[in-house]
Amino acid sequence: MNWKRRLSSALVAVFSAGWLFPIWLGVWTHLDFWRAEVLPRMDGTLIGNSFPFLDFAKKCFGWGLAWLAAVLALWAYLGFSALLRARSERA
């Protein structure tokens, strides 16, 4: 029985904080774009790279922000329903 509680707690933690990974990946990819593409061009070196850095970073930000919106919506719903339940128990 204890492992079920630990597993559910771990799933809630991953759901609640998991949006940080795609955001971090998007920031890291954007910084790699600057290191691999922009800075060498500022020095006069033309380096061609086939990886779509900015498109991938945009998709990472989109997934991360959508995940964050889902987390906020869920916790807002749970908090509001707990508040309504507490008020109805008092009355």
What's residue 43's pLDDT? Answer: 87
Per-residue pLDDT for the chain (91 aa), expressed as one digit of tens each? 699 999 999 999 999 999 999 999 999 999 999 999 888 888 888 887 889 999 999 999 999 999 999 999 999 999 999 999 999 988 6
End-to-end CA distance of the chain: 35
What's residue 35's pLDDT? Answer: 92
Per the CB < 8 A criterion, the answer to whether 74 and 12 are in contact is no
What's residue 1's pLDDT? Answer: 62
Residue 36 amino acid letter: A
What's residue 48's pLDDT? Answer: 77
pTM of the model: 0.83
Per the CB < 8 A criterion, the answer to whether 37 and 49 are in contact is yes
Residues found in the chain: 91
What's residue 45's pLDDT? Answer: 85
